[in-house]
Amino acid sequence: MKSIKNKLITFAVLLVLLPVLITNFVCYYYFSSSISSNVIDNNKKLSSTISDGVKDFIDKAYTLTEEMAQNKTTIDFNQENQKEMLTNALAKNPYFDLLYIQNTSGKQTARSSGELGDRSNRWWFTQMMKDKKPFVSKSYYSASGNMAVTSIFHPIFDKNSNMLGIFGADLKLNELQKLVDKYSDGKNVYSFILDSEGVVIAHPDKTQVSELYNYKTLKKTVLVKDASGNVEKDASGNLKTKLEDIAIPQTLKETVGKALKGESGVVEYSDNNKKEMLGAYTTIKLPGQSQSWAVVTVENKAYAMSVLKSTQLKNTFIALGLLILIAILIYLLAKKFTQPILELVDLMKRASEGDLTVKCNHKSEDEIGNLSYNFNCMVSQIRDLINNISNTSNLVTDSAKTLAINTDATSQSIDQVTLNISDVAAAAEKQTSNSITGLDTTTKLSDEISIMTNYMNEGKMSAEKIYTVSTKGVNIIGSLETAAKENNNSINNIAVVVNSLSEKANVIGNIADTITSISEQTNLLALNAAIEAARAGDAGKGFSVVADQVRKLSEDTASSSNNVKDIISNVQKDVNKAKEAITQAELVVKKQNDAVKYTGETFNEISSKIQDVVNKIITTASSLDNVLVSRDQLLILMEDAAKVSETLSASSEHVSAITEEQNAAMEEVTALAEDLNKMSSTLNESIKIFKLN
């Protein structure tokens, strides 16, 4: 069975955990979007900054070389003056590697350093002679200077716009390398610059610069070495090189193509090590008729998002700590709130098992305190009820025993009456026979007077015996009436007790109804509390669970009350059966009393008749001398005596039948008393399951 405490703890933890998780998720989503946006913006700004730096550097060199190409010293083509100018310019601007001037035939007329040569076979000379427009050339790597170099070319015109020659300047690109290194950590954040051909001219990985990595053709230029590891040279003394393939992500290649076409933007791709990278690319527009260069900035996405992960990790630890703290507090609060309920559940269980000595000691002003108070009242009332039932049951048992004893005594009296009535019947039959004989002999009275005297004496003795027996019968009938009255009183007492038991059972039923009503009101209060908790939203969910448990407890109380009502209903049914049995017993006793009364009246009549017979026999004996005279009267008397004897015999038989009916009725009363005793015993056994003290 799940406890309320565990449910409260689980619900509260979920109530805290879900908002924390949702908050972390939302924060992660927005922070991730914000950081991603910031990283992209930073990369775009960085690429623009580097692009502006490169453009400024090239523009500065371009402007300077343009001024020198238009200088009078250059136009005059005085070799010494040109050389001096170039030497001084190189000294003032060390970012130049070489300055040189050549005429339209390709012959150099001046150099800042080195020997003059013929450049008519160079590609840039051919292009310049054809287009006659200035431009910045593609880059190349200077093995002597160990750096990337590019060249700037300007046509030399006279005042009439006639082309006189070409001014050339080799520009060191190590300044661009410094610019790239400034904004790169070489691992997670770096930038690189490409010339118009897609060749790397500045990169944190200087190997890519020295080997002329080309991001358009996916080739690199490497030196050819012999078996000893020495660099080989061609017939002209130049270092021999060869092209090898390079591997870069296709997305990066496409990005370089876009940048060299004049586009700018951002890109996200996976490098050769499967790392997610964020980047930005910008075109570098060069002066003159030069093709554009490009700058690309790259940042490791995981590195860029590391701040977010660090923040997320901190938030997670804070949330876990908060969750643990809240769980502890909720556990303590839940224990405090649920402990009285658990105690009530235990006490309710003990009470349902019959222990009515339980008592809840919890006292508070809230619903639980009211529930504890009502529980104590309910147990107290049930305990008093069981005590009353027990006392009433004991009283019924005692009354049943008394009824059984009285019934036994009455049965014995009836048996004795039956025996006496049998004697009376035998005497009545004998008297009838004698009356018949006397009647027969009366006709012979004159001849058998002496015999008649003897018979009269015998009749006198028999009459005296009959009178004695009749007197005993009257006395027995009197005892039977007394016993019947006592039996009637006992049945009346039992009826009073049973009626009292019925009234108390009704009172108990009313108490059970009251308890049921209280439980229904408690259930209604719990339902109202649940509704209010639902209106309160999330803040009321914990109270909703408590209200639900109170409702369940009230339903259990109602169920227990209904069980008590069922028991009381069974008791009332048994009491009604007892009342019906007592009613039947009263009817039987009434019949018995009527029969006893009728028997008593009959016996009194018999006694009276017998007394008359005795008196008449005595009178006859005393008037024996007048027998002959009174013979006719004697005949009449004898006929009357015969009739009386017949009546007495019939009455005796009737009394015998009545006593048999009374005996049967007493057996029924005895059976009812036994049934009542059994019901009392069953009720006592039912009450024994309750512990009252």
pLDDT digit string, tens, across residues 205-244: 888 888 889 999 999 988 888 888 788 888 777 778 889 9
Residue 117: which pLDDT band, with cuts at 50, 70 and 90? very high
Are 431 and 641 in contact by the 8 Å Cβ rule? The answer is yes
pLDDT digit string, tens, across residues 118-160: 999 999 999 999 999 999 988 877 756 667 889 999 999 998 9
What pLDDT, on a 0 to 100 scale, did the predictor assign at position 144? Answer: 60
The answer, yes or no, to whether residue 5 has pLDDT greater than 70, is: no
What pLDDT, on a 0 to 100 scale, did the predictor assign at position 280? Answer: 92
What pLDDT, on a 0 to 100 scale, did the predictor assign at position 82? Answer: 93
Q: Is the pTM of this model over 0.85?
A: no
Q: What is the mean pLDDT of the chain?
A: 79
What pLDDT, on a 0 to 100 scale, did the predictor assign at position 482? Answer: 80
Q: In Å, how far are 278, 301, 582, 612, 638 from 271, measured between CA atoms?
A: 10, 11, 107, 150, 155
**Residues contacting 427, CB < 8 A, separation 6+:** 462, 465, 466, 469
The answer, yes or no, to whether residue 245 has pLDDT greater than 90, is: yes
Average pLDDT over residues 343-360: 80
The answer, yes or no, to whether residue 643 has pLDDT greater than 70, is: yes
The answer, yes or no, to whether residue 467 has pLDDT greater than 60, is: yes
Walk me through the domains of the chain, giving residue ranges and CATH numbers: 21-313 (3.30.450.20), 368-471+618-688 (1.10.287), 489-615 (1.10.287.950)
Name residue 290's amino acid: S
Phi, psi dihedral angles at 524 (to 5 degrees): -65, -40
